[in-house]
Amino acid sequence: MNFETIQVEVNQGVGIITLNRPKAMNALNVTLTREVGEAVDAFERDDNVGCMIITGGEQVFAAGADIKEMKDQNFVDLYSRDFPYIQRDCWRAIDDARKPIIAAVAGFALGGGCEMAMACDFIIAADSAKFGQPEIGIGTMPGAGGTQRLTKAVGKAKAMELCLTGRMMDAEEAEKAGLVSRIVPAAELAEQAFKTARKIAGHSRPVVMLVKEAVNMAVDADLQDGLKFERRTFEATFAFEDCKEGMAAFAEKRKPEFKHC
Ligand code: HXC
């Protein structure tokens, strides 16, 4: 895969997407969002990939939609495409992915950048990370999940304050608020995210996919529906060879050898 605004690689079952527009703080433009969508779709289809990472590298995750490219858009164009400016396929690809996607965030994750990180399954933050929805400062508002995912993650009070003021949260505040799973030193972000993704990729793939689906039910469904879904998926794992292998390996005190079936 050859891309203009992102770099991609597969290493030990992990598909890594690195946003690469350093001069524009990885601002999300049409090309970058199209390419992220294509890369996620390709990793989703690739049997060698069990988990993905989206990162902006060591300095910045993404400072939002590309304001310079976005500024001449008009309502009719946006409304006709049913999405604010950048490529809808990017968000569809992230939303539809059944393999887990980790966002590894250093530096600014603002506006559409924060929304992209939140669309992933969980966020590992460098201690340099800063999250925010500053759109109000340029006369607009979040358009790719900022008011919804942020509110579900951190609750109404903090989400309302952040969206209405444009204030940024540092990594510590974001972790306390439940937006990020954990904080690591900036210099270790890539390694820690990779280790986490490799661990996930090493588990039974169908079980990983069921777990992702079941946890997402907790966000989207009511508790009784979620509990029922979890019971059914738990029961379903007993149809997998990997389940037999995992339990046999435990009893025999050896490492399981998963075949992803
Ligand atoms: C285009 C951007 C950009 C952006 C930064 N740059 N953010 N270009 N779109 N969102 C560019 C700058 O123009 C500048 O280019 C270079 O990156 C470095 O930025 P500086 O501002 O000089 O750096 P700094 O002083 O460190 O400030 C960093 C910053 C600031 C706090 C992140 O750049 C900033 O406030 N950016 C905008 C953040 C924002 O409002 N995001 C929301 C966008 S709307 P030059 O060429 O001058 O060197 C949005 C809507 C999403 O995301 C809708 C749904 C998808």
Which residue, by CA, sits nearest to atom 47 of ligand 1?
A: 24
Q: Which tokens go with 54?
A: 């989206």
Tens digits of per-residue pLDDT, 81-100? 777 667 778 999 999 999 99
What is the value of pTM for the model shown? 0.95
Q: Which tokens go with 19?
A: 């946003």
User: What are the respective helix, strand and coil percentages of the chain, to the nearest 5?
Assistant: 50, 15, 30
Centre of ligand 1 from the C-alpha of residue 69, in Å? 11
Q: Which tokens go with 98?
A: 């059944």
Q: Which of 41, 95, 104 is nearest to 212 (CA)?
A: 95
Ligand 1 pocket residue status of 111, Cβ below 6 Å: yes
Which residues does the chain have with pLDDT short of 50? none
125 is catalytic: no
56 is catalytic: no
Which residue, by CA, sits nearest to atom 16 of ligand 1?
A: 24
CA distance 259 to 261: 6
Q: In this structure, are strands 6-11 and 14-19 parallel, antiparallel, or unpaired?
A: antiparallel
Confidence at residue 223, expressed as pLDDT on a 0 to 100 scale: 86
Confidence at residue 74, expressed as pLDDT on a 0 to 100 scale: 85
Contact status, residue 48 vs residue 10, Cβ threshold 8 Å: yes
Ligand 1 pocket residue status of 135, Cβ below 6 Å: yes
Q: Which tokens go with 101?
A: 């996607």
